[in-house]
Structure 1
Amino acid sequence: MTERVSAGRRLAVQALLRQEQDGYSNLVLDGVLRQSDAPAREKAFAGAVFYGVIERLYTLDWMLSRCLRQPLEKLDAPVRAVLRAGLYQAVYLDSVPDAAAVNESVQLVRALRKSSAAGLVNAVLRRACTLRPDSSRFADPVQRLSVCCSVSPAVAAAFYEWYGPDAQKVLDGFFEKPQLALRANTLQNTPQQLCEQLESEGWQASPGPLEGSVIAAGSGAIVHTRAFAEGRFHVQGLASQLACLNLAPRPGETVLDVCAAPGGKSATLAQLMGNEGRLFCGDGAKNRVKLIDETLRRLGVTIAQTRWQDASRPVEEWNGADRILCDVPCSGLGILAKKPDIRSKTLEGLGELCALQAAILDTCAEYLKPGGRLVYSTCTLNPDENRRQVERFLAAHPDFRPAEPAVVLPGSIQTGCMVELRPDLTGTDGFFVATMERL
């Protein structure tokens, strides 16, 4: 007789099995949940366990490996997924007692027709629950970072190179999710008016630390609110808003957003322009241009022209710009909190990525008018993509100079025209913003 198994746990394991086939975590989970008629509460639990396992994968695998006689990767995939999900619940979910996590995992592995592994699951989880990597010895600081902060050895080595003894503090900062930040659509309402609207819909909301920003909290998805449908705001992290505020476009100007999808920064720029002037929005991914159009349409932006455009290749129509935002493709090593898949990166191809960033900057330099402003931004903490890119650009373009940032968030690390946001210091995504002007 098959014992009853929690629908949420079963869904989480199903998603983890699909995730092993190299899918994007958000798409994998959405696909699994769409096919299920489980109650919303069970789906929410499945999501928490699924993303929790991805976030803590390297820590969980280290704990499990110390309790197994064979390599973890040699286990059947369903057994491996059940072990990871069960251990995550026992160690990281206060709402799930250790005994319940173990017993439910044993039932689940039986339900998945792996009854022969039930004893192993029971014994391994009971022992693994007692292990804590923080008090263990490691071969070197990089291995400690990889296990304790749950990142790939390559990511751990990179952060240790960049931050040395502070690397663990920086990486631990990614375990804290940034507050939900919104950008009030100032073409329609003020931040205070938006707060009042959201509060009437059951959300907590207050004006944020940046002009036009709002910090919100509540249950459910804020994109399902009436305020969102009416175009009163868009969801945008404080770090991204900071890049737009430092560009400081004015009404009537010609402004470029050269890597614009999905359109959030373009929307903020249009609002800062009072919906007056010309805003050119391009993106190198053809299928993402429609996302820019949808965002701007919902928010009532009428000054934008969107196009499929490789930002590293020149386009004559963009010449003579007053302001240019280069929020370039990057390694994403500042957004581990919102995209836990990045924790497993190998960092292969960084050289090609840096070359692309440099090409985009060099191309955009030709568009800018004398006296115009260019903001370069990334969502990574990699100095090769950040500080060294700016230093290279300024050395190659003597007609450009560093410019003092117009806005800096508390806790930011400022070096001249460059601002770095670290999650452990600012409570935001890891981010980089550099402001430059053409002479």
Structure 2
Amino acid sequence: MKNSRLASFDILYDILKNGAYSNIAVDKGLAEVDSKDKGFTSRLAYGVVERKLTLDYFIDKFLTSKAKPKVKILLYIGAYQILFMDKVPDAVAVYETVEIADLIGLSYYKKLINAVLHKIIDCKSELDETDDLSIKYSCPPHLINMWKKMYGEEKTLVTLQAINNRPPVFAIPNRKFVDEGELQYELLDNGVDCEVYGDVVKINSSFDLSNIKAFKDGLFYIEDYSSFSCAKALDCTNGETVLDVCAAPGGKTFTMAQSGANVYAFDLYEHRVALIKKSAERLELYNIKSSVNDALIYNENIPFADKILCDVPCSGFGIIRRKPEIRYKNLDDIKELPQIQYDILNTSSKYLKNNGRIIYSTCTLNKKENEKVVEKFLNNNTNFKLINEITVFPSENSGDGFFYAIMEKIND
């Protein structure tokens, strides 16, 4: 088994140097760590990715030349502990980081690492004193400026204050077996600290799903609260035909299926469809039919539906606290998304019956991917009318940033 800081180094090298997705790299790295060290390792790895701009600000103040990637990652690890992990004494953070340099063959740089980290200790109060939002919250200026322009100063600040918090976890009761109160009882009995939150259960402690009896018994599934609220807003009822056109991993599918509707869940990739099928079987939701389909292409074999959920691929700016590297996306790299999103919505709408309803949704905070796509669709499809449009901003105890618009098809 690796020690936690060495494991964090390997995880971060995979993310920052090799371009791995943070969640995949962390899951892989945690497999090599003792169970008692998993929490610290995860927090350190995710924390460095989250706070990279802040860490760069402090580290680069004291480097006279560009550091090698491995040295920079070590400095990230040490600096993060100094600036953001109050329970780790500064001296321990420095010592343990310098020790890793020996383990990975970077002994030559020990004096440099030691000197830079001690200088960061001396000036760490600057973090509380700065008015630079990019440094304070480790968010690129272009993203902050976009949010200010689209949503205003207040909403932008609320979002920035949330993006570096641990995201809450919500267990959605499978009402075939339990309600929220009964699920809370079962989870508490399984040793999981939790509380009723509206009509779901909010998890307040870490836990391993594979070891939870209530999960194995199909009593719940995990879904973000904003996503859950979106699926509920479609107001599916028993016997209706419902399409979920971009369904994986399936949370919204399961929420809609609990109504008794016949839900057709589609995804572009077979392995993602297999995940939906496996979870539906565990939950005993036999009114779900899952299959591969390209949402961009009209498929005459798909039945006409009373309700459609169109949750499209997006930039993900609403789920930064779950996937921290998303914040560093170049806005030019996502400029093609609105056209793809519009095309998926337009194709999906062709399956809708008269007087039926369709929800267009994303987990991003970007009006070009949200309101502008809906506006374009309504302008080009005059037989649809807007019923409601909701933007949710992330906060400490609630769901992710999310957008959805409910539209109704008028009789042709």
TM-score (norm 1): 0.88
Report deviation, 1:223: 4.8
Report deviation, 1:312: 1.6
The sequence identity of aligned pairs, in percent, is 34
Pair 1:15 & 2:15 matched: no
Alpha-carbon separation, structure 2, partners of 1:216 and 1:169: 23
Aligned positions of 1:320-339 closer than 5 A: 320-339=304-323
Report deviation, 1:173: 1.5
Change (3 A) 1:421 1:223: farther
| Aligned positions, number | 406
188-197 or 110-119, which deviates more: 110-119
Report deviation, 1:380: 0.3
Report deviation, 1:117: 1.3
The match for 1:414 is none
What CA deviation, in whole Å up to 9, does each residue of 1:378-426 have, x standing for no partner?
Answer: 10010011111111111211111122xxxxxxxxxxxxx1111111487
Aligned positions of 1:215-294 closer than 5 A: 215-273=202-260, 277-294=261-278
Report deviation, 1:205: 2.9
Determine if contact 2:133/2:139 at 8 Å carries over to the other structure.
yes
Determine if contact 2:391/2:401 at 8 Å carries over to the other structure.
yes
Pair 1:135 & 2:129 matched: yes
Aligned letter for 1:15? I
Report deviation, 1:164: 4.3
Alpha-carbon separation, structure 2, partners of 1:192 and 1:376: 31
Pair 1:91 & 2:83 matched: yes
Aligned positions of 1:334-413 closer than 5 A: 334-403=318-387
Alpha-carbon separation, structure 1, partners of 2:114 and 2:317: 36
Alpha-carbon separation, structure 2, partners of 1:135 and 1:402: 46
Determine if contact 2:358/2:407 at 8 Å carries over to the other structure.
yes
The match for 2:161 is 172
Report deviation, 1:108: 1.9
Change (3 A) 1:387 1:134: farther
50-59 or 423-432, which deviates more: 423-432
Determine if contact 2:296/2:344 at 8 Å carries over to the other structure.
yes
Pair 1:430 & 2:406 matched: no
Aligned positions of 1:57-206 closer than 5 A: 57-70=52-65, 74-129=66-121, 130-131=123-124, 132-136=126-130, 144-166=132-154, 167-206=156-195
Alpha-carbon separation, structure 1, partners of 2:308 and 2:151: 31
Alpha-carbon separation, structure 2, partners of 1:373 and 1:31: 41
Q: Secondary structure at the match of 1:349?
A: helix
**CA RMSD between the two structures:** 2.0
Alpha-carbon separation, structure 1, partners of 2:304 and 2:30: 49
In the TM superposition, structure 1's runs of 4+ consecutive aligned residues that sit over 4 Å from their partners are none
Change (3 A) 1:127 1:343: same
Determine if contact 1:11/1:43 at 8 Å carries over to the other structure.
no
Alpha-carbon separation, structure 1, partners of 2:210 and 2:394: 25
Q: Secondary structure at the match of 1:94?
A: coil
Change (3 A) 1:153 1:286: farther
Q: Secondary structure at the match of 1:272?
A: coil
Determine if contact 2:167/2:396 at 8 Å carries over to the other structure.
no
Pair 1:41 & 2:36 matched: yes
Determine if contact 1:86/1:101 at 8 Å carries over to the other structure.
yes
Alpha-carbon separation, structure 2, partners of 1:289 and 1:111: 42
Report deviation, 1:133: 4.0
Aligned letter for 1:75? A
Determine if contact 1:256/1:280 at 8 Å carries over to the other structure.
yes
Alpha-carbon separation, structure 1, partners of 2:49 and 2:146: 20
Aligned letter for 1:55? E
Alpha-carbon separation, structure 1, partners of 2:165 and 2:25: 23
Change (3 A) 1:85 1:191: same
Alpha-carbon separation, structure 1, partners of 2:229 and 2:315: 20
Alpha-carbon separation, structure 1, partners of 2:114 and 2:159: 35
What CA deviation, in whole Å up to 9, does each residue of 1:74-103 have, x standing for no partner?
Answer: 312221111100110111111101111112
Aligned letter for 1:26? N
Q: 1:420 aligns with which of 385, 391, 400?
A: 391
The match for 1:26 is 23
Q: Secondary structure at the match of 1:435?
A: strand
Aligned letter for 1:192? G
The match for 1:412 is none
200-209 or 182-191, which deviates more: 200-209
Report deviation, 1:154: 3.8
Aligned letter for 1:158? M
TM-score (norm 2): 0.93
Determine if contact 1:202/1:218 at 8 Å carries over to the other structure.
no
Q: Secondary structure at the match of 1:316?
A: coil
The match for 2:45 is 50
Determine if contact 1:189/1:232 at 8 Å carries over to the other structure.
yes
Change (3 A) 1:380 1:7: same
Determine if contact 1:152/1:346 at 8 Å carries over to the other structure.
no
